[in-house]
A = this chain, B = another copy of it.
Amino acid sequence: MSLYMLKAGKMIQRITMLGAGNLATQLGKAFKQSGIEIVQVYSRTKESAAALGKLLNTPFTNRPEKIDRDSDLIIVSVKDDAIAEVLEQTDFSTCLVVHTSGSTPMDLLKRYTGSYGVFYPLQTFSKARDIDFSEIPVCLEASSTETLDQLKELAGRISKVIREVSSEERRILHLSAVFACNFVNHLYYLGGRLLNDQGMSFDLLKPLIRETAVKVMEMDPFDAQTGPARRYDENIIGKHLDLLNNQPETRAIYQIVTNSIYQTHK
């Protein structure tokens, strides 16, 4: 989408960021690198506001009444529970406001302004790890086609993958991401802990972790499934459960996921 397609809406050039967590940090950096001006960072805690403000070389505040509303877009990147709280403290009725949450319906914003939307990048973010935004699917939803066009144009400056996604679809997307990312990472952790407990290094698992991920770029995960649970090798499964006898929580995960694989492939 190029600028001339923005028939009614103005091109977004100046952004106020509410929130200074992992997503706000990486999104702020991506915007800045694309030449977009971050006019201000707000966070409830002074330290977080200062850290991101300094990183982006922009003013910051932790006082709601000082939030700079003289920008083209207010991005709310705070914990889901805090979105309404942040928006209630200040009058945003003349602003374009988006949130970046996977699980919060867009309509929550309706009470605070007439122009609103969702800007949800489907990725895992950590403050300390920079990331190439260009491949990240940015999932958009907006209160009007005009606003949608503005958000598309903005998203197109940081990513090649832009999707229009309803609130209902987005919450499923977020749920699926919890499985494919958050839960996956925890299994990496559990696998590494088993090794560490025996004096072995997590490094041994890295080629396997890489290949397991790369494999499903080309192959359906159903077809890519290997291992004792798929073959239902009861002998190995029994030995593995014995090894986990003193770790009831990890053992329970082993049992329930093994059973799910078996049910899927039997």
Give the interface of A toward B (CB within 8 A).
Answer: 22, 79-81, 103, 122-126, 128-129, 131, 135-137, 161, 163, 168-169, 171-192, 194-195, 197-198, 200, 202, 204-231, 233, 235-236, 239-240, 243-244, 249-250, 252-254, 256-257, 259-261, 263-264
A223 x B257 contact (CB < 8 A): no
With A239-B171, A253-B257 known to touch, is A205 a contact of B176 (CB < 8 Å)? yes
Chain B contacts of A171 at CB under 8 A?
239, 243
Can you spell out 30 A-B residue pairs with CB atoms less than 8 angstroms apart?
Answer: A124-B208, A125-B226, A126-B219, A129-B215, A131-B211, A137-B204, A172-B195, A172-B197, A172-B198, A178-B191, A179-B188, A179-B194, A179-B253, A180-B205, A182-B230, A184-B188, A185-B215, A185-B224, A186-B225, A186-B261, A188-B221, A189-B225, A189-B264, A192-B221, A202-B216, A202-B221, A206-B216, A209-B216, A209-B217, A210-B217
| Shortest beta-carbon distance from A232 to chain B in Å | 11
**Which of A122, A129, A189 has most B Cβ within 10 Å?**
A189
A191–B148 Cα distance when bound, in Å, is 27
Chain B contacts of A261 at CB under 8 A?
182-183, 186
Chain B contacts of A240 at CB under 8 A?
103, 174-175, 178
A215–B80 Cα distance when bound, in Å, is 24
A208 x B224 contact (CB < 8 A): no
Other contacts beyond A124-B226, A180-B187, A210-B217: 16, CB < 8 A: A103-B240, A126-B219, A131-B211, A136-B207, A169-B198, A169-B200, A173-B195, A178-B229, A180-B212, A183-B187, A183-B254, A183-B257, A189-B225, A202-B216, A210-B213, A253-B256
A77–B48 Cα distance when bound, in Å, is 55
With A177-B205, A208-B124, A209-B216 known to touch, is A222 a contact of B189 (CB < 8 Å)? yes
